[in-house]
Amino acid sequence: MKGSPKIKDLKAVKTIPDLKGFRIIDYTGNGWAKKNLAGLDVTWAPGIDNVLKMLAVGRGDVFVQN
C-alpha cells in the first residue's frame, strides 16, 4: 500500500522466508501460495479482487505472486 510504514522492509525482501512478520493476503485456490507460503501469516480471500480491496484498506501488507 502506498505510504505503508513497512515499504522499506518490503523492498528488502529477497526470499520467501524474508516475508516472515508481514501480513500476507492471497486468494483461495492459489496452489503456489498454499505450497510456498505455508507457515507464514496468510489471510485467504475469495478472489484477487478481494485481495486488492483488503490491501487498499490496510488489512494486509503484501500480495505475493509467482
3-state secondary structure 12-61: CCCCHHHHCCCCEEEECCCHHHHHHCCCCCEEEECCHHHHHHHHHCCCCC
Residue 60 clears pLDDT 80, i.e. is over it: yes
Q: Is residue 25 part of a domain?
A: yes
The mean pLDDT of the chain is 92
Q: Is residue 63 part of a domain?
A: no
Residue 1 clears pLDDT 70, i.e. is over it: no
The residue to which cell 507457515 is assigned? 39
Integer Cα distance of 37 and 47 in angstroms: 17
Mean pLDDT calculated for residue range 24-29: 97
**pTM score, two decimals?**
0.87
Q: Is residue 37 part of a domain?
A: yes
Q: Tell me how many domains the chain contains.
A: 1
Containing domain of residue 25, as a range? 7-56
Integer Cα distance of 16 and 14 in angstroms: 7
Q: Is residue 41 part of a domain?
A: yes
Query: What digits encode the pLDDT tens for the residues 39-59?
Result: 999 999 999 999 999 999 999
Q: Is residue 19 part of a domain?
A: yes
